[in-house]
Structure 1
Amino acid sequence: MEKHRHFSLLENEKIVYLFGNETGKIHTSRYSLTDNNDSEYLTLTNFRLIYESFTEEKDITQVIKTNDISSTELSLPKKTYTDLLCGIGFGIASLVWVWFSFAFGFTSILTWLILLTIAGFSGINLFSYFATQEIPKLKIKTGSSELVIDLMSKTALSDSEEIINFIYSQSAGIGIPISIDNY
């Protein structure tokens, strides 16, 4: 048996992926990682998921066997192109309004208020498209508990698809190996 942090690897058990401060923030029903101080990890081996919490008071290890996992879900942020298209459309409309105003000599306060309204709609739509920062999440459910991992990097996002495939292959008994180069 090989010792890894505060748990021992079983015979023929290999570490597949380690979520830590650089790849994802880990949230469970009892614990929530809010900073990047290497106090919580999630380790995926070819047999189980191991959640570790390291604090000054105690070390807690929560083990989830891959056979106990009922479902996994990868939720990706959804950005609609409607906001982008509306923002561009209102931007073009405001430029046309400016051209129309100067071409026909409309320089009243009402004309400028209409221009500001159209430009405001453009800015709001473009801001809602570009400034929304949803975080992709990997949800792993077992009977009564749920483990949610916020995927904070592109590497974690791409690796999460491999993790889902790995979990399903283990629970189906196929046992398809995936590379362990990530660790």
Structure 2
Amino acid sequence: MKFTACDLPGLIVIEPTVFGDSRGYFFEAYNESLFHKNGIDYKFVQDNQSRSSHGVIRGLHFQLNPFAQVKLVRVLEGAILDVAVDIRKGSPTFGKYFSVELTSENKKQLLIPAGFAHGFSVLSETASVLYKCNQFYNKESEGGIRFDDPALNIDWQVDLKQAVVSSKDIELPLLKDCVSNFEF
């Protein structure tokens, strides 16, 4: 496995070693020992899976402390643009975002630590996304930021006029009005 730190401290892109032959392929998506050797010491307690159609945007979501979640995101089918926004007060990259295309073909994963809002857009006809979390879901700690916040200026790589976004996500606040309790 290859572990690559991103420009936003804490984000890591993980690329598995894929073994292919005439039967197909095999790879380790998660290996606790290798993750630990690379400084990733989270205990994952919940897996979430979603399936969405082209043009769907989910996010930008987070859970507040003490229920903040670390996420390890990968795509089982299709392609997404995965986005993480730094919302840690005092961070030199506060309000900046990182995006990476995660696909069933490239098999990349994105590790998103607590203190980031997370979302994705679906680039393929459909996409199935699986992500591991180190905390259980807690409805009372939900938070979020509008996907189309002009201060963030995220290029979701889909037509925003035709994007499919939940009413809940459309009503999320802008970053400047967002309530969070994350410190760098």
Structure-2-length-normalised TM-score: 0.23
Q: Which has the larger radius of gyration?
A: 1
Structure-1-length-normalised TM-score: 0.23
Which is strand-richer, 1 or 2? 2
